[in-house]
């Protein structure tokens, strides 16, 4: 085979599909080699003296002769015009004429359309179409001569792409079994070298899929053969009917609506397509198609803009055409029952009750926050709750008096040795450990302090003046260590007199000062039902009061209100 015959064969196999008359209109891709073969003249005998002359129609609608030696990009063989490669401005009308210098034997007209590639891969205007059957095998061939070297023309192994994504290198593309996801554009790209330059020639096939009749059949979606739809008179309603029609864009199927009176067996009335350019008063239908995962669906929506009473007497039926089993679905309109309006007086009463309930709720929350301590103490007294049982502790609280007792004022010593025991022990039944009163002289002070704190449930620290003895400092540090580190005891701070300076105390005491401090207010705090003793009891472990009379000190709301300011 000579170079001329090889080029003709390559270009006939590689050029894209034609549009219109397949012999006269050629589709090409930009920057790819292209051949225009003169129709009906490719087998003419060059020995007859006739030659092929090419013309191109210019913008002035004049035919301009193409000279054989005009450009290296456009070359001629006996009956073909070659582009190395084709450009966008090559688009136009070409005429090939068979002449012998004085006479013209015949002429043919061709139209060339050069397209740009989509994402540097293909153009949807230059594609073949092939149909495959789901669950069947299928093979696509590249349509290119490969591994053939003659007269300087070389071709390489084809590369296959799907939707511009590389798949593999092979002479053909084979599917053992087609699936719904296999549809799409498959492009075969073959490298070609000519006259020292490298080119790519591509051919794109659009693979369409169709289901086999025994695999899937067209049908209307949904399980209800009769579907009841609630509507409101005067309102708009849309009845939807969707059908699966296969795996290809087939025009064999259509959905249409008709209606008939419930008691009638006649075919009924049909509807026209909706016209959105004017107001729609009568019912109309609107049809659309869509692809979803390789499947084709048709949807037809029946639109009734203004439901009237007479519309309720019909059955609305959507039917899928060209189906053996006469697929259809029936829609029946039923009037939606209106809910009774709430009487005005009932609505007003309900709103008032809601507002009153909200106000009561807020008031209860506020009261609970204000009288939280009182309510908790009342709950303890009523239930007889006791947190001191079986915990292994001997004392309810250890009193840490920060002043050296010999340097303390009589008022301070009286508070520690008389007032606290009198109320907490005699009135409320707590057992206190006071070092000056309960510890036998002569023992090891540090060991005694540590032992008594270990046996106590609370550590009550009396904050007085700015002088602290070594014993008091050890009591404080030991108690704070058990409270903050070991978490074995809780601390209660009683501020006997307002203090201006806490610098002499350990920094860890600041962690407790604001949360667990109770302030003594002299005569106001002296009565057992004062706010001071309530706060102390609240911080002490729950324990039944020694006198049942104490529980009634908190049971009267009037007493709670009168005493809350103390």
Q: Residues 458, 427, 421, 438: what is their CA dihedral angle, to the nearest 10 degrees? A: -80
Q: Clarify whether residues 413 and 467 are in a common domain.
A: yes
Predicted local distance difference test score (pLDDT) of residue 68: 65
Contact 93, 66 (CB under 8 A): no
Q: Specify the 3-state DSSP secondary structure of 384.
A: coil
Q: Clarify whether residues 425 and 531 are in a common domain.
A: yes
Residue-wise pLDDT for 320-374, tens only, equals 887 655 578 888 888 887 666 677 788 888 899 999 999 999 999 998 888 888 8
Q: When comparing pLDDT for 516 and 20, which is higher?
A: 516
Residue 61 above 70 pLDDT? yes
Q: Clarify whether residues 178 and 309 are in a common domain.
A: no
- Span 108-117, average pLDDT: 87
* Phi, psi dihedral angles at 391 (to 5 degrees): -105, 0
Indicate whether 92 belongs to any domain: yes
Q: How far apart are CA 257 and CA 521, in angstroms?
A: 91
Q: When comparing pLDDT for 267 and 451, which is higher?
A: 451
* Phi, psi dihedral angles at 113 (to 5 degrees): -125, 110
Q: Clarify whether residues 400 and 517 are in a common domain.
A: yes
Predicted local distance difference test score (pLDDT) of residue 442: 64
Residue-wise pLDDT for 511-536, tens only, equals 665 567 888 888 888 898 899 999 99
Q: Please, which residues have CB within 8 angstroms of residue 122's CB and are 6 or more apart in sequence?
A: 29, 164, 185, 187, 202, 204
Which among 115, 137, 155 is the end of a domain? Answer: 115
- Span 133-140, average pLDDT: 86
- Output 91-94 pairs: Cβ under 8 A, ≥24 positions apart: 92/56, 92/57, 93/56, 93/57, 94/36, 94/54, 94/55, 94/56, 94/57
Residue 383 above 60 pLDDT? yes
Contact 157, 23 (CB under 8 A): no
Q: Clarify whether residues 463 and 494 are in a common domain.
A: yes
Predicted local distance difference test score (pLDDT) of residue 44: 47
Predicted local distance difference test score (pLDDT) of residue 142: 82
Q: Specify the 3-state DSSP secondary structure of 109.
A: strand
Neighbours of 101 (CB within 10 A): 8
Predicted local distance difference test score (pLDDT) of residue 96: 87
Residue 447 above 70 pLDDT? yes
Residue-wise pLDDT for 405-420, tens only, equals 445 577 878 888 899 9
Q: Clarify whether residues 437 and 349 are in a common domain.
A: no
* Predicted TM-score (pTM) above 0.75: no
Indicate whether 120 belongs to any domain: no
Q: How far apart are CA 201 and CA 289, in angstroms?
A: 35
Indicate whether 123 belongs to any domain: no
Structure tokens at 138: 């299928």
Q: Clarify whether residues 294 and 316 are in a common domain.
A: yes
Residue 4 above 60 pLDDT? no
Give the chain's length.
566
Predicted local distance difference test score (pLDDT) of residue 47: 57
- By annotation, the residues acting in catalysis are 475
Which among 163, 180, 210 is the end of a domain? Answer: 210
Predicted local distance difference test score (pLDDT) of residue 353: 92
- Output 503-511 pairs: Cβ under 8 A, ≥24 positions apart: 504/466, 504/468, 505/468, 505/476, 506/476, 506/477, 506/480, 508/480, 508/484, 509/476, 509/480, 511/484
Q: How far apart are CA 126 and CA 323, in angstroms?
A: 35
Q: How far apart are CA 258 and CA 269, in angstroms?
A: 5
Q: How far apart are CA 139 and CA 130, in angstroms?
A: 10
Residue 473 above 90 pLDDT? no
Q: How far apart are CA 501 and CA 463, in angstroms?
A: 11
Question: How does residue 21 score in pLDDT terms, banded at 50, 70 and 90?
Answer: very low
Structure tokens at 277: 């350019």
Q: Clarify whether residues 359 and 248 are in a common domain.
A: no
Half-sphere exposure of 108 (CA within 13 A, CB side): 17
Residue burial 229-258, b: 16+ Cβ < 10 Å; e: rest: eebeeeeebebebbbbbbbbeeeebebbbb
DSSP state for residue 213 in the 8-state scheme? T
* Phi, psi dihedral angles at 173 (to 5 degrees): -120, 120
Predicted local distance difference test score (pLDDT) of residue 3: 43
Predicted local distance difference test score (pLDDT) of residue 356: 92
Neighbours of 563 (CB within 10 A): 18
Cβ-in-10-Å burial (0-12, 13-18, 19+) of 382 comes to exposed
Residue 566 above 80 pLDDT? no
Domain span at 149: 128-210
Predicted local distance difference test score (pLDDT) of residue 295: 78
Indicate whether 49 belongs to any domain: yes
128-133 and 197-210 beta bridge pairing: parallel
Which among 278, 311, 335 is the end of a domain? Answer: 335
Residue-wise pLDDT for 271-325, tens only, equals 888 876 655 567 888 888 887 766 788 898 888 888 888 888 888 888 888 765 5
Residue 565 above 50 pLDDT? no
Indicate whether 121 belongs to any domain: no
Number of domains in the chain: 5
**Assign residue 195 a region: left if phi > 0, alpha if psi is -120 to 50, beta otherwise?**
left
C-alpha pair distances (Å), 195 with each of 4, 237, 272, 399: 14, 70, 63, 110
Indicate whether 448 belongs to any domain: yes
Residue 150 above 60 pLDDT? no
Residue-wise pLDDT for 220-246, tens only, equals 887 778 888 888 888 888 888 898 887
Predicted local distance difference test score (pLDDT) of residue 361: 92
Predicted local distance difference test score (pLDDT) of residue 431: 92
Q: Clarify whether residues 350 and 460 are in a common domain.
A: no
Task: Give me the chain's average pLDDT, please.
Answer: 77
Of all residues in the chain, the percent with pLDDT exceeding 70 is 73
Contact 532, 518 (CB under 8 A): yes
Indicate whether 107 belongs to any domain: yes
Indicate whether 122 belongs to any domain: no
- Span 496-511, average pLDDT: 63
Residue 58 above 70 pLDDT? yes
Give one DSSP letter per residue of 141-176, joined into a string: E-----S--BTTBEE---EEEETTEEEEE-SEEEES
Give one DSSP letter per residue of 466-510, joined into a string: S---HHHHHHHHHHHIIIIIS---EEEEEESS--S--TTS-GGGH
Predicted local distance difference test score (pLDDT) of residue 175: 92
Q: Which residues pair with 185 in a beta bridge?
A: 206
Q: What is the CATH number of the domain that holds 177?
A: 2.60.40.10
Q: Clarify whether residues 227 and 274 are in a common domain.
A: yes
Q: Clarify whether residues 205 and 224 are in a common domain.
A: no
Of all residues in the chain, the percent with pLDDT exceeding 90 is 8
Q: Clarify whether residues 435 and 504 are in a common domain.
A: yes
Question: How does residue 101 score in pLDDT terms, banded at 50, 70 and 90?
Answer: low
Residue-wise pLDDT for 255-265, tens only, equals 888 888 876 66
- Span 457-470, average pLDDT: 71
Predicted local distance difference test score (pLDDT) of residue 355: 92
């Amino acid at each position: 085979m000579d170079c001329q015959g090889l080029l003709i064969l390559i270009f006939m196999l590689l050029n894209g599909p034609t549009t219109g008359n397949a012999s006269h209109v050629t589709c090409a891709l930009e920057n790819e080699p292209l051949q225009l073969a003169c129709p009906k003249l490719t087998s003419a005998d060059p020995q007859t003296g006739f030659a092929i002359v090419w013309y191109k129609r210019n913008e002035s609608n004049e035919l301009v002769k193409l000279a054989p030696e005009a450009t290296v990009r456009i070359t001629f063989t006996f009956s073909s015009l070659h582009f190395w490669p084709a450009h966008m401005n090559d688009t136009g009308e070409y005429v090939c004429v068979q002449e012998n210098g004085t006479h013209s034997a015949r002429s043919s007209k061709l139209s060339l359309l050069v397209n740009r590639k989509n994402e540097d891969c293909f153009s949807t205007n230059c594609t073949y179409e092939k149909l495959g059957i789901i669950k069947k095998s299928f093979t696509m061939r590249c349509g290119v001569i490969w591994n053939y070297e003659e007269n300087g023309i070389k071709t390489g192994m084809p590369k296959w792409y799907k939707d511009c994504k590389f798949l593999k290198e092979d002479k053909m593309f084979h599917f053992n079994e087609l699936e719904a996801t296999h549809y799409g554009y498959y492009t075969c790209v073959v490298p070609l070298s000519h006259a020292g330059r490298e080119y790519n020639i591509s051919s794109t096939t659009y693979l369409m899929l169709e289901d086999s009749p025994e695999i899937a059949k067209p049908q209307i979606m949904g399980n209800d053969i009769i579907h009841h739809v609630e509507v409101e008179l005067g309102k708009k309603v849309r009845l939807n009917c969707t059908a699966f029609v296969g795996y290809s864009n087939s025009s064999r199927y259509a959905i249409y609506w008709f209606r008939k009176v419930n008691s009638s067996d006649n075919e009924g009335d049909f509807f026209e397509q909706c016209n959105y350019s004017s107001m729609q008063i009568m019912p109309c239908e609107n049809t659309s198609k869509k692809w979803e995962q390789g499947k084709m669906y048709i949807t037809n929506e029946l639109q009734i803009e203004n439901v009237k009473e007479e519309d309720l007497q019909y059955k609305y039926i959507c039917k899928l055409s060209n189906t053996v089993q006469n697929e259809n679905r029936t829609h029946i309109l039923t009037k939606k029952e209106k809910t009774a309006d709430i009487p005005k007086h009932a609505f007003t009463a309900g709103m008032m009750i809601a507002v009153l309930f909200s106000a009561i709720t807020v008031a209860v929350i506020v009261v609970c926050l204000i009288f939280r301590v009182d309510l908790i103490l009342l709950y303890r007294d009523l239930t007889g709750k006791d947190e001191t049982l079986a915990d292994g502790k001997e004392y309810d609280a250890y009193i840490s008096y920060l002043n050296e007792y010999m340097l303390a004022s009589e008022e301070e010593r009286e508070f520690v040795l008389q007032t606290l025991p009198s109320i907490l022990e005699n009135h409320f039944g707590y057992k206190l450990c006071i070092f000056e009163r309960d510890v036998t002289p002569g023992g090891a002070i540090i060991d005694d302090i540590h032992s008594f704190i270990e046996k106590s449930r609370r550590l009550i620290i009396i904050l007085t003046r700015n002088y602290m003895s070594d014993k008091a400092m050890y009591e404080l540090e030991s108690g704070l260590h058990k409270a903050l580190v070991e978490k074995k005891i809780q601390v209660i701070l009683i501020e006997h007199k307002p203090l201006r300076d806490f610098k002499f105390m350990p920094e860890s005491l600041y962690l407790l000062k604001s949360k667990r401090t109770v302030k003594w207010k002299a005569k106001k705090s002296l009565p057992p039902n004062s706010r001071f003793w309530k706060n102390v009891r609240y911080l002490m472990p729950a324990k039944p009061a020694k006198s049942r009379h104490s529980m009634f000190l908190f049971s009267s709301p009037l007493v709670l209100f009168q005493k809350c300011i103390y």
